[in-house]
């Protein structure tokens, strides 16, 4: 994905901001997951990996999620 301006890292658009980082214009993100469904119940598990978003971040951002649902 391409990022033109990330206000959380680059600061406000229309005024100066003292605290900014050197953000990267392109960030890659991959999501891998699996889900099962039994009767009215469903369970899904996913893992997300995103490349570093700014210089000096240190490592890629990685997190997971679990979703449990029931239809009624």
What pLDDT was estimated at residue 37?
96
Q: Which residues partner with 30 through β-bridges?
A: 49
Predicted structure pTM score: 0.61
Model confidence pLDDT, tens digit, residues 19-57: 667 777 888 899 999 999 999 999 999 999 988 887 777
Domain boundaries defined on the chain: 7-70
CA distance 4 to 2: 6
């Amino acid at each position: 994905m391409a990022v033109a301006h990330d206000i959380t890292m680059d600061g406000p658009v229309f005024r100066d901001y003292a605290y900014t980082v050197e953000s990267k214009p392109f960030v890659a993100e991959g999501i891998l997951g699996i889900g099962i469904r039994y009767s009215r119940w469903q369970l899904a598990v996913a893992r997300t990996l995103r490349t570093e978003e700014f210089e000096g971040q240190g490592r890629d951002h990685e997190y997971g999620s679990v979703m449990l649902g029931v239809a009624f």
